[in-house]
A and B are shown apart, each in its own frame.
Chain A
Amino acid sequence: MLRDIVLRLRSLFRRGAVERELDQELRFHLEREIARNVAGGMSESEATRRAKLALGGFEQIKEETRDARGVRFFETAFGDLRYAFRTLRNSPGFTAVAVISLALGVGANTAIFQLVNAVRLRTLPVKNPQELVEIHIADMSGARGGVQRKDAVTYPIWEQIRKRQEGFSGVFAWTNASFNLSPKGEVRSVPGLWVSGEFFEVLGIRPVIGRLFSAEDDYRGCGLPGAVISYSFWQSEFGGSSSAIGKTLIINGQSVSVMGVTQPEFFGLDVGHEYQIALPTCSIVPLWFNALDAGTFWWLSVMGRLKPGTTLEQASAQLGSLSPGIFLSTLPADYPPVSIEDYRRMKLTAHSAATGLSGLRDRFSDLLWMLEAFAKQVAHADNPVGLTFRMEATPYAPETVYEIVGTVGNAKYADIRDAMLPLFYLPFSQDPAPQLTDQLLIRSNLPLQSLLPLLQRAILETDSEARFEVYEFRDLIQGSLARERLMAALSTVFAGLAALLSAVGLYGVITYRDATERRDRHPHCPGC
């Protein structure tokens, strides 16, 4: 069998030599046959004629011998390929169209797949993502205060989970954030993460240089021990230089030193939110406010890695049984009395997390459930002006009675896709607990270019320490529709592409048929 392969390969790759040998062999045969005939008494010409007759045609023998060599398929294939290339070269227009069609088709398919892959299919770039589990509260309707994101818990609740859990080899808490890197004036925001000390360890993320947070870095009163930055941030801000470790960043006006850099594949846990800077949760105190003791600030997502041998159901059941104790011990002293029962009845459960959250799917749904009671009341009155309603006490304000002074038309609130929510508007001047940030809506017929310096001057004259961001409302709306616009654009492009390919294909088929028919009609004049 080896000999067979060797001979076939030889026939394939040393065709020249093999052909020459065969030719020589046949000539030898012919010579001897002629010589025999001559020795038998024939004339030279007669001998030659008879010899050729007896042997048969050279070409035919060579053909049959080539068949016998078993490489006929390849030889014809190569011949066909060469013919194809020649033909293509002779009609560059057709070749261009064919190549472009293929390229567009392949490219379009690849692009779509990559997009779907990035948004949906890609699992988290962490160690053993199938062991990761999300921990959240089954029914959040008992939550009062500020719910910052879907399925979030407060810091006290997180501390209890960390202390009491048993079914996980490790748990951690995290949330998305936006940090301002600009020391003053106009804001420069980068996406960031608040993470608990165990975050990187449990996920199995390693540093490229420097070190990452550990559980020891995360404690009450830690101040600003340092920041972990992403690989892309390291490249863009520090040029990938190893001297980045220890350098200072100004985050929300305070100095924080760079502690380490994460691996290039790690973008965070939110598909669509690529973090640049990560800070330990204990650093929220100097940078924002004391969220660590806030029982009504729901901001942390919690995840855990299952212990080997523990199933998701077991871990979930275990959390469920720990829940009464956890919620009893974390009940805030100033919690609205009407909601205390709901708070104590909350239950923690676990869900699989491997495909990662998608920022594109994440929606902040806040006000609807808070305002339903209000909406029902108002709906019964045709003209609610003059009616009053009571708002229950919160940790920041006592129970307050409001009088309705007017009505306005329905409007969208947070998201253009939401329904028109029932809303009431309260004046700033009555706000018992003003926020750290406010939004001003300015209508102007000046273009943004000319308006901007005027705004800057006006703001800084009022408060020289103020930090601000300016953008056009239209851009905000466009931005919120980014996903739909992307899909629409892609669909349009691909629809156009499909139409183009169909047209090209149709044209090709028709001209080919036409050419064939023409040739058949004039068999002796192919060019007619």
Chain B
Amino acid sequence: MSSSSRIDLPQGTLDLLILRTLALGAQHGWAISQRLQQISSEALQVQQGSLYPALHRLERRGWIRSSWDVSDNNRKAKFYQLSAAGRKQLEKETELWRKLVAAVGQVLDAV
């Protein structure tokens, strides 16, 4: 997969994607990045490094929680999971996103 066919992630949507990924279960940072690549069939260009600032920001806002645990390869890793508030935020942002997409799509189709 060449990098030129990857789409750059629009500003602010990374948070939404992280929340969605975590809705499937608690994961550590690396697993989240792998999952994002998998789900999008590697179409999305997520600079792996930008994941961690996003994760810490989400944690501060109370939408995800972290805890240290042992990972599947027997190493200590920091796991993240969705909080109740995070679940609500996910629903809200998903709704907003779909509306945005629909609206933009309408404009594009109309012209």
A contact set with B: CB distance below 8 Å? 1, 3-4, 7-8, 21-22, 24-26, 28-29, 31-33, 35-36, 54-57, 60-61, 64-65, 67-70
Given A21-B78, A25-B77, A29-B30; A68-B49 close (CB under 8 Å): no
Given A24-B76, A28-B77; A7-B59 close (CB under 8 Å): yes
Tell me, rounded to whole Å, the shortest Cβ–Cβ distance linking B48 to chain A.
Answer: 5
Is B60 touching A60 in the complex (CB atoms < 8 A)? no
Q: B75 within 8 Å of A by Cβ?
A: yes
Q: Please name all residues of chain A whose beta carbon is closer than 8 Å to the beta carbon of B76 when the two chains form the complex.
A: 24, 28
Q: How far apart are the CA atoms of A121 and B33 in the complex, in Å?
A: 71
Q: B88 within 8 Å of A by Cβ?
A: no
Given A55-B49, A60-B49, A68-B56; A29-B29 close (CB under 8 Å): yes
Tell me, rounded to whole Å, the shortest Cβ–Cβ distance linking B15 to chain A.
Answer: 11
Closest to B68 in A: A21
Q: 8 extra interchain contacts, Cβ-Cβ under 8 A, other than A8-B60, A36-B34, A56-B48?
A: A7-B60, A29-B29, A29-B30, A29-B48, A55-B48, A67-B53, A69-B56, A70-B60
Given A4-B62, A56-B48, A69-B60; A28-B53 close (CB under 8 Å): no
Q: B52 within 8 Å of A by Cβ?
A: yes
Q: Please name all residues of chain B whose beta carbon is closer than 8 Å to the beta carbon of A67 when the two chains form the complex.
A: 53
CB < 8 Å neighbour of B49 from A4, A7, A31, A56: A56
Given A25-B29, A25-B78, A28-B77; A61-B53 close (CB under 8 Å): yes
Closest to A28 in B: B77
* Cβ contacts B34-61/A at 8 Å (1 or 0 each): 1000000000000111101110110111
Closest to A18 in B: B56
Q: How far apart are the CA atoms of A187 and B79 in the complex, in Å?
A: 91
Tell me, rounded to whole Å, the shortest Cβ–Cβ distance linking B32 to chain A.
Answer: 10
Q: Please name all residues of chain B whose beta carbon is closer than 8 Å to the beta carbon of A69 when the two chains form the complex.
A: 56, 60
CB < 8 Å neighbour of B52 from A1, A32, A33, A61: A61
CB < 8 Å neighbour of B57 from A25, A33, A35, A68: A68
Q: B28 within 8 Å of A by Cβ?
A: yes
Closest to B62 in A: A3
Tell me, rounded to whole Å, the shortest Cβ–Cβ distance linking B74 to chain A.
Answer: 12
Q: Please name all residues of chain B whose beta carbon is closer than 8 Å to the beta carbon of A70 when the two chains form the complex.
A: 60
* Cβ contacts B65-95/A at 8 Å (1 or 0 each): 0001001010111100000000000000000
Q: Please name all residues of chain A whose beta carbon is closer than 8 Å to the beta carbon of B54 when the two chains form the complex.
A: 68
B contact set with A: CB distance below 8 Å? 28-30, 33-34, 47-50, 52-54, 56-57, 59-62, 68, 71, 73, 75-78
Q: How far apart are the CA atoms of A254 and B35 in the complex, in Å?
A: 105
Is B48 touching A65 in the complex (CB atoms < 8 A)? no
Q: Please name all residues of chain A whose beta carbon is closer than 8 Å to the beta carbon of B53 when the two chains form the complex.
A: 61, 64-65, 67-68
Closest to B59 in A: A7
Is A4 touching B30 in the complex (CB atoms < 8 A)? no
Given A28-B77, A31-B75; A65-B30 close (CB under 8 Å): no
Closest to B61 in A: A4
Closest to B83 in A: A3
CB < 8 Å neighbour of B60 from A4, A36, A56: A4
Q: Please name all residues of chain A whose beta carbon is closer than 8 Å to the beta carbon of B77 when the two chains form the complex.
A: 25, 28
Tell me, rounded to whole Å, the shortest Cβ–Cβ distance linking B70 to chain A.
Answer: 11
* Interface hub of B52, B62, B68 (most chain A Cβ within 10 A): B52
Q: How far apart are the CA atoms of A454 and B63 in the complex, in Å?
A: 99
Q: How far apart are the CA atoms of A121 and B59 in the complex, in Å?
A: 56
Tell me, rounded to whole Å, the shortest Cβ–Cβ distance linking B13 to chain A.
Answer: 16
Q: Please name all residues of chain B whose beta carbon is closer than 8 Å to the beta carbon of A32 when the two chains form the complex.
A: 30, 73
Closest to B32 in A: A29
Tell me, rounded to whole Å, the shortest Cβ–Cβ distance linking B33 to chain A.
Answer: 8
Tell me, rounded to whole Å, the shortest Cβ–Cβ distance linking A51 to chain B.
Answer: 9
Tell me, rounded to whole Å, the shortest Cβ–Cβ distance linking A13 to chain B.
Answer: 16
Is A61 touching B49 in the complex (CB atoms < 8 A)? yes
Q: Please name all residues of chain B whose beta carbon is closer than 8 Å to the beta carbon of A65 when the two chains form the complex.
A: 52-53, 56
Closest to A36 in B: B34
Is B60 touching A25 in the complex (CB atoms < 8 A)? no
Is A28 touching B75 in the complex (CB atoms < 8 A)? yes
Q: How far apart are the CA atoms of A3 and B50 in the complex, in Å?
A: 22
Q: How far apart are the CA atoms of A8 and B30 in the complex, in Å?
A: 24
Closest to A25 in B: B78
CB < 8 Å neighbour of A68 from B33, B34, B48, B60: B60
Q: Please name all residues of chain A whose beta carbon is closer than 8 Å to the beta carbon of B60 when the two chains form the complex.
A: 3-4, 7-8, 68-70
Q: Please name all residues of chain B whose beta carbon is closer than 8 Å to the beta carbon of A54 when the two chains form the complex.
A: 48
Tell me, rounded to whole Å, the shortest Cβ–Cβ distance linking B71 to chain A.
Answer: 8
Interchain residue pairs A-B with the least CB separation, the first 9: A56-B49, A64-B53, A68-B57, A68-B53, A32-B30, A61-B49, A68-B56, A29-B30, A65-B53
Closest to A30 in B: B30
Closest to A21 in B: B78
Q: How far apart are the CA atoms of A4 and B49 in the complex, in Å?
A: 23
Q: Please name all residues of chain B whose beta carbon is closer than 8 Å to the beta carbon of A8 when the two chains form the complex.
A: 60
Q: Please name all residues of chain B whose beta carbon is closer than 8 Å to the beta carbon of A7 when the two chains form the complex.
A: 59-60
Q: How far apart are the CA atoms of A69 and B53 in the complex, in Å?
A: 8
Tell me, rounded to whole Å, the shortest Cβ–Cβ distance linking B9 to chain A.
Answer: 15
